[in-house]
Structure 1
């Protein structure tokens, strides 16, 4: 029998009651309240901010749009490997500021220089702007670190959660065929890899578990504004070769994206690439942003990320 963690039940009951009242009062979703919602959730339930030795803002220079980045370096005197991590938020919400506590934990726990790109968001900048910014970050990261005179080891990994996981898998797909970009490993937390929404978890977890299936559809409608083929845009249906990076996937049972995360993991493994899968049978989507409620689970994710990146 499937059961949500008791740690999340009071939150979900309150959240669902609030959503019902908002809908009854005529609430209409837009980019502003989507961004406020994720920001308020994270600010309320991810309150522990660890110290990072060096935090600096910079730019990745690229054609058409210079991507702002924040660099989290836990040990500036050492030559550390680099992790480019893309925040989640349905391609519409989230930001480097919102994800600050998560970036800090990533840097300290994995002992990597974490580079956090402020990629462009829909609906103002629909597909493929976010993917272009995501790849431009990889192409320009060494030049930016050099410009700052920062010590590093030329070893690059990528990661992301939810829509950020979609961006991570997108850049990993392109890098398979780009001799100038070498990605060693990727970390994917409840990643979006299939925009067709055609897996059982979208039905099983349609309502009641924070991220509703209808909200996913709304995010995707705002992301794909020009009638693009969503299957063609989905990394789950792209090429899986032995040139993909080693992959670590986290999935949650009560998450609409559960099945596509598992399927992506299986396809990477099927391509002969090392892959690991960590499944939580009682968690929902976005639990990393609710660390105060599920501290043990979040600590396990960071610990496993550290093991995977540094093994």
Structure 2
């Protein structure tokens, strides 16, 4: 019998009751309350915010938009490899500020210089603005660090959760045909890689587990504003060649995106690229932003990220 982790049950019960009350009172989703919801969740349930030796803000120059980034360097005296982390939020929510504690933990756990871009969000800036910013960050990462005279290895990996996992899939898909870029590895946490919403888990986990299928559809309607082919935009249906980076995908049992993450990993493996997948039993989407409730599970993911990126 499938069962949500007991550490999440009380929260989910309260959350679902609150949502029902809000809907009955006439609640309508918009960009503001979507952003507040993720920000408040993260602030409430990640209360351990560690110090990092060096944190600096900068800008990646790019055509049409200068991408703000935050750099987390856990050991400035050493030449460390570089990791770009794309935050989650469905292409509409999340920010460098909201994900600051997660980026700190990643930098410390992996001993990588973490670069977190403030990519543009829908609905103000719909697809492909976020993808363009994510790719610009990929191309400009070394230049920003060199301009700061920061020590680093010319070794670049990417990671992201949810909508940030989607950006990983999009930029690694583009980079496999760009000889100027080499991505060593990508680590994706419950990634959104199928904009068609066509999977068994999208039905099985559609209601009651924090991220609901109806909310995903609303995110995508806000993200795609110009009649784009959503299947063509989906990393799951893109090209898979041996130029893709080694890939590690974390999915959650009660997440609507579970099956597409697994299927993406299988396609990477079928292309002859090392690919690894772990499904977190009893977990829901966004559990990494709920660390105080599921500390062991979050620690497991940070450990796996470190192990994978440094192997």
Separation of aligned partners in 2, 1:47 and 1:26:
32
**Partner secondary structure for residue 80 of structure 2:** coil
After superposition, give the CA deviation of every residue in 1:76-98 in whole Å (9 maximum; x if it has no partner).
Answer: 00000000010000000000000
Alignment correspondent of 2:35: 35
**Partner secondary structure for residue 101 of structure 2:** helix
Separation of aligned partners in 1, 2:20 and 2:225:
28
Per the TM alignment, residue 50 of structure 1 is displaced from its structure 2 partner at its CA by: 1.0
Separation of aligned partners in 2, 1:276 and 1:206:
25
Separation of aligned partners in 1, 2:132 and 2:260:
23
**Partner secondary structure for residue 101 of structure 1:** helix
Alignment of 1:200-219 (within 5 A): 200-219=200-219
Per the TM alignment, residue 290 of structure 1 is displaced from its structure 2 partner at its CA by: 0.2
Alignment correspondent of 1:77: 77
**Partner secondary structure for residue 8 of structure 1:** helix
Alignment correspondent of 2:269: 269
Separation of aligned partners in 2, 1:155 and 1:146:
13
Separation of aligned partners in 2, 1:133 and 1:172:
13
Per the TM alignment, residue 271 of structure 1 is displaced from its structure 2 partner at its CA by: 0.7
Range 63-72 or range 274-283, more displaced: 274-283
Per the TM alignment, residue 276 of structure 1 is displaced from its structure 2 partner at its CA by: 1.0
Alignment correspondent of 2:231: 231
Per the TM alignment, residue 278 of structure 1 is displaced from its structure 2 partner at its CA by: 1.3
Separation of aligned partners in 2, 1:273 and 1:51:
36
Give the TM-score, by structure 2 length.
Answer: 1.00
Alignment correspondent of 1:187: 187
Separation of aligned partners in 2, 1:57 and 1:202:
38
Per the TM alignment, residue 304 of structure 1 is displaced from its structure 2 partner at its CA by: 0.5
Per the TM alignment, residue 282 of structure 1 is displaced from its structure 2 partner at its CA by: 0.5
Separation of aligned partners in 2, 1:296 and 1:212:
25
Separation of aligned partners in 2, 1:210 and 1:17:
11
Separation of aligned partners in 2, 1:310 and 1:177:
25
Per the TM alignment, residue 295 of structure 1 is displaced from its structure 2 partner at its CA by: 0.2
Per the TM alignment, residue 59 of structure 1 is displaced from its structure 2 partner at its CA by: 0.2
Alignment correspondent of 1:125: 125
Per the TM alignment, residue 32 of structure 1 is displaced from its structure 2 partner at its CA by: 0.2
Per the TM alignment, residue 210 of structure 1 is displaced from its structure 2 partner at its CA by: 0.2
Alignment of 1:19-30 (within 5 A): 19-30=19-30
Alignment correspondent of 1:66: 66
Separation of aligned partners in 2, 1:266 and 1:146:
36
Alignment of 1:1-311 (within 5 A): 1-311=1-311
Runs (5+) with no aligned partner, structure 2? none
Per the TM alignment, residue 47 of structure 1 is displaced from its structure 2 partner at its CA by: 1.1
Per the TM alignment, residue 109 of structure 1 is displaced from its structure 2 partner at its CA by: 0.1
Aligned residues, how many?
311
After superposition, give the CA deviation of every residue in 1:6-47 in whole Å (9 maximum; x if it has no partner).
Answer: 000000000000000000000010000000000000000011
Give the TM-score, by structure 1 length.
Answer: 1.00
Separation of aligned partners in 2, 1:229 and 1:64:
24
After superposition, give the CA deviation of every residue in 1:241-295 in whole Å (9 maximum; x if it has no partner).
Answer: 0110000100001001000000001001111111111111200000000000000
CA RMSD of aligned residues (A): 0.4
Runs of 4+ off more than 2 Å: none
Separation of aligned partners in 1, 2:166 and 2:191:
6
**Partner secondary structure for residue 114 of structure 2:** strand
**Partner secondary structure for residue 152 of structure 2:** coil
**Partner secondary structure for residue 283 of structure 2:** strand
Separation of aligned partners in 2, 1:213 and 1:281:
20
